[in-house]
Amino acid sequence: MRIAKPILLVTTPIGMAEGLYEGYRLAGGLVFIMIAMVVVMLAALGSVIVVIRREAARDAAARTNAHAAVEPPREG
């Protein structure tokens, strides 16, 4: 996994760009439909990431509030 992840992170965008170029070369204007599909998939991925981060922040805040409610205030 130490080698596979960087290879995938580099080769996937290169493969997408090459695929879009070949799609344009072979089908012309139909590549815009392919680009629209990629944009929709990126929007879906982005919305999933936003929801996960929002829920993680909410859970962290709930844990902090629960921890603060359990500890009695200290008198100095």
Query: What is the tally of structural domains in the chain?
Result: 1
Residue 32, in any domain of the structure: yes
Q: What is the pTM of this model?
A: 0.66
Residue 19, in any domain of the structure: yes
Q: Which domain holds residue 57?
A: 4-70
Residue 76, in any domain of the structure: no
Backbone angles phi, psi at 3, to 5 degrees: -95, -35
Residue 20, in any domain of the structure: yes
Residue 75, in any domain of the structure: no
Residue 29, in any domain of the structure: yes
- The total of other beta-carbon atoms located within 10 Å of residue 34's CB is 15
Residue 11, in any domain of the structure: yes
The predicted pLDDT at position 69 comes to 65
Say how far apart CA 35 and CA 47 lie, in whole Å: 18
11-61: per-residue pLDDT in tens? 999 999 999 999 999 988 889 999 999 999 999 999 999 999 999 999 999
CA-angle at 21, arms to 17 and 27, nearest 5°: 140
Which pLDDT band, with edges at 50, 70 and 90, does 73 fall under? low
